[in-house]
Chain A
Amino acid sequence: MAVMRFLALGLALLLGGGLAWAGAIETREFDDPVLEQRYHSLTASLRCPLCQNQAIDDSDAPVSADMRERVYRLLLDGRADIEILNHMTERFGDYVLYNPRLEGRTYLLWGLPVALLGVGGLLVVLVVRARRNASAQRLSAAERERLDALINRERSQ
């Protein structure tokens, strides 16, 4: 019972906190639902330059408000997503991209997980193969003879 009450209290605090936080971020009106969708995905993928790990759609830093305003204006202006992202990185640097671009200095970043997966797969194949060979070799001539004898006895019964 006490646990339930504790959980309910925690949930209430969580929800209440969420609401209070949401109050700091302005809402925007869009006539076009597609534009609204793009606005939300863009502001969720841009990182606040002042805060360390917050998207601008979730940050009440003044610079985040300015950036949201700019995204909004550029969207109404008919700009493409890539143009808007470029607009931001030209001013605030690659730091603001939550998804780093694939380019010379990010090959390692993007390539490492794939390479590690490949190495892992290769290891599994090698280990399995080595085990299979090892267990097959372990039967000596005498053991094999005895195995054959056992199999034959089973068959003849």
Chain B
Amino acid sequence: MKRRLILLVPLLGFLVLSIFLYRGLSLDPAQRDSALLARDFPAFEASTLEDPERRVDRSLLEGQVTLVNVWGEWCPTCKQEMPQLLDLAERGIRLVGIDYKDTREQGLEFLEEFGNPFEVNIFDPEGELGFELGVYGAPETFLVDRDGIIRYHHTGYITPQDVREVILPEVQKWQ
């Protein structure tokens, strides 16, 4: 009888594998931690979207908790996300935008049409800063603490529910 039980070992192995694979079906591959969590916001030097003469660098993000949102005029989800970002700005949270792979006209047009929750927008036409941040699509949002360290990363669309349940608690946590 005991010998017979050994024959069940492959079946057991198969069941364990099935559980893992079944779980894999419902995992979202976009929900993975950014490689930059708990690291300094990368050093950069760029002009702002609003004023080509104004140069900014990572000191822009020091001193207070900031949400950095990567957006582009070419990105439909960014347009859907704007009401939530405006809501966050109204609650007194500081937002800085990164206009990712746009022309200046396109970027400014976008803000005019969909509203501007950002204190300032970093102009990143070639996606250089985006690359440093490991951005692979827009929108993406980073929470940067007062020391300029990345504390939270949100890939993709921020829903109104995300604002209440994820973004606001995270902001409070690092305030």
Contact = CB atoms under 8 A, between A and B. Distances in A.
A49 B32 CA distance: 10
Given A49-B136, A50-B136, A63-B137, A70 B32 contact: no
Contact of A89 (B35, B101, B132): B35
Interface string B103-139: 0000000000000000000000001000111111100
A63 to B, nearest CB: 4
B101 A91 contact: no
Interface residues of A, number: 16
Interface residues of B, number: 15
Contacts of B32: 93, 95
Nearest to B133: A91
Chain A contact residues: over half helix, strand or loop, or mixed? helix
B29 interface: yes
A91 B29 contact: no
Contacts of A70: 131
Interface in A36-74: 48-50, 52, 61-63, 66, 70
A92 interface: yes
Interface of B: 29, 32-36, 101, 127, 131-137
Interface of A: 48-50, 52, 61-63, 66, 70, 89-95
27 contacts: A48-B136, A49-B134, A49-B136, A50-B136, A50-B137, A52-B29, A62-B127, A63-B135, A63-B137, A66-B127, A66-B131, A70-B131, A89-B35, A90-B35, A91-B35, A91-B36, A91-B131, A91-B132, A91-B134, A92-B35, A92-B134, A92-B136, A93-B33, A93-B34, A93-B134, A94-B35, A95-B32
